[in-house]
Amino acid sequence: MLHKARRAGLSALVLEAGAGVGGTWYFNRYPGARVDIQSMEYSFSFDEALQQEWRWTERYAAQPELLSYANHVADRFGLRDGIQFNTRVTGAVWDEERRRWRVTAEGGESWSARFLVMASGPLSSPNTPDFPGLGEFQGAVYHTARWPREPVDFAGLRVGIVGTGSSAVQTITTIAPGCGELTVFQRTAAYAVPAHNGPLAPAFEARVKADYAGFRERNLKMQGGFGSLLPPNPVSALVASEAEREARFEERWRTGGFSFLGAFNDLLLDERANALAAEFVRGKIRSIVRDPDKARLLQPRQTIGCKRLCVDTGYYERFNLPHVKLVDVSQQPIERITPRGLLSGGREYGFDALILATGFDAMTGTLMRLDLRGRGGRPIREKWAAGPLNYLGLMIEGFPNLFNIAGPGSTSAFTNVMVSIEHHVNWISDCILFLNGAGRETIEATQAAEAAWVEHVYTVAKRTVYLTCNSWYLGANIPGKPRVFMPLFGFPAYAAKCAEVAERGYEGCALSA
Ligand code: NAP
């Protein structure tokens, strides 16, 4: 956004809480942190020289390499002098008279801005459950999303980990061999498909780079903005014979990653089709995990893909290590943390270090924690009390000239987020240039457009299996959070709609002179 704004001749300043660039890849330094979209796709497309010259070492890049990439981009485009680091924004208030945002940060520093772009991320406010006694634990406590910069040595230690989502799956897989004992506290079993990660094949890299622009174009036509190399099989799982089904599932399992959910074209649309894929994965878990009790507990029961699918590098295999224990806390929740461990079902489990892999207050958490006030001083917390009203995921009625990147109401959570970010940055920049060209001072979504958009997001979700489980897409992972389905499924239709809105002079928006 900063690069784009500068190229458009705008003056811009980035306020960043971290001491460096990278966002997700700056804060999530837990062992095994790795992207779940292939590196050749999970990168910026806006500069041909950048994408030609950068060399990924692995099929799925790990956090240190992703952080190097973010730093490389910042240096290559000379962005650091436009970023104020170690600056945590606490709020922003719309000044109606001056038609400017007054942005404030910890320490009291403040800025005035005509436009305010929230690039604060859909998964950036960690969720720390309110476990009684957490402060009394005598060992170290880590949250995967706030991992220390120095490596943590668990050698010989008894470690407890709460959670089995993507962050936990990667952490467990990585630390299990070196721990003295690892106890996994599982509330909902996760579906994980193999990444089959490895060094990036030079021939594959050369093939992509020979026509990188074409590769990006083809990916933009995919529902998630990635995966054009192996598009979904255009066949229903319900009409395929059993042998055909097994063959297709097996083929995708061997390929790895999210391509598994494209084994048939209705796995995310029809619960009966979905059940067939789910049973295939349960069969894989049974064949990998030797202890029948662990194997039973590790087999998920919910629809597959409803919570975001995990992409792993030997997760289930780790449960064959005798010192890796699995405790089911679905029926008997964690009652409290004790000085030496935790209590569940009246039993105390002891450990020396505790890892919380308990996710995020997703999509809305970061904005809702701010003192963000729009027209008439209305707080975002009030505006969004029943769920995140928005238009195109980009704008909020009553919050003029504020844009949200990768927020609720957009496809960010279902896409290669790099694609979503670039799409939003281009749209926002075009919008600002349009306003300047047309001599308009402000833009704001109308209430009617916003209401219709939220309804549209829900209507699309109803055609999928995404409403059948308690996911962070629904806000269901945070006690008391309104259950509203927040992300939109389907990038190409979304991008077409955003383009159409712009072409029609920002239809659904109120513009002031
Ligand atoms: P998550 O998917 O929300 O997982 C959080 C885990 O903590 C869940 O297993 C949850 O159980 C458990 N949990 C939360 N509160 C609990 C409580 N009070 N008691 C017991 N268990 C509790 O969070 P995440 O793993 O950090 O991942 C979030 C998202 O970030 C992912 O879906 C993905 O989009 C992204 N991510 C991607 C990667 C990658 O592979 N590139 C890696 C990490 C994260 P329930 O399921 O029962 O709620």
Tens-place pLDDT, residues 141-164: 999 999 999 999 999 999 999 999
Q: How far apart are CA 181 and CA 30, in angstroms?
A: 18
At residue 487, the pLDDT reads 98
Q: Write down the pLDDT at residue 206.
A: 98
Indicate whether residue 118 lines ligand 1 (CB < 6 A).
no
pLDDT at position 219, please? 98
Specify the pLDDT at position 501: 98
DSSP state letters, 226-270? --TTSPPPSS-TTTS-HHHHHHHHHHHHHH-GGGGGGSSTTTTT-
Question: Edge to edge, what strands does the sheet with 140-143 contain?
Answer: 140-143, 353-356, 158-162, 181-186, 324-328
| 368 vs 361: CA distance, rounded Å | 10
Q: Positive or negative CA dihedral for 199, 201, 206, 212?
A: negative
Cβ–ligand 1 contact at 487 (below 6 Å): no
Task: Indicate the pairing of strand 192-194 with strand 334-338.
Answer: unpaired
pLDDT value at position 198? 97
The residue nearest atom 12 of ligand 1, judged by CA position, is: 163
b/e code 195-211 from CB counts within 10 Å (16+ = b): bebeebeeeeeeebbee
The CB of 162 under 6 Å from ligand 1? The reply is yes
Residue with tokens 């270090």: 353
pLDDT, position 400: 98
What is the spatial distance between Cα 482 and Cα 432, in angstroms, rounded to a whole number?
Answer: 32
Single out the residue of 154, 212, 136, 225 nearest to residue 422, CA to CA: 225
Q: Are strands 140-143 and 347-350 parallel, antiparallel or unpaired?
A: unpaired
Low-confidence ranges of the chain (pLDDT < 50): none
Sign of torsion over alpha carbons 94, 435, 9, 21:
positive
Q: Compute the distance from residue 307 Cα to the ligand 1 centre, in Å.
A: 9
Tell me if 125 sits within 8 A of 363, measured CB to CB: no
**DSSP string computed for 51-74:** HHH---SBSS-BHHHHHHHHHHHH
Supply the pLDDT for residue 205: 98
Q: Which two tokens stand for residue 256?
A: 């790895």
Residue 204's pLDDT is what?
A: 97
pTM: 0.97
Ligand 1: residue whose CA is nearest its atom 20: 187
Residue 10 pLDDT: 96
What tokens does 17 get? 């809480």
Which helix (DSSP H) or strand (DSSP E) does residue 171 occupy?
A: helix 166-175
Quick check: CB of 128 below 6 Å from ligand 1? Answer: no
Cα-trace Rg, the chain: 23
Spacing, Cα 98 to ligand 1 middle (Å):
43
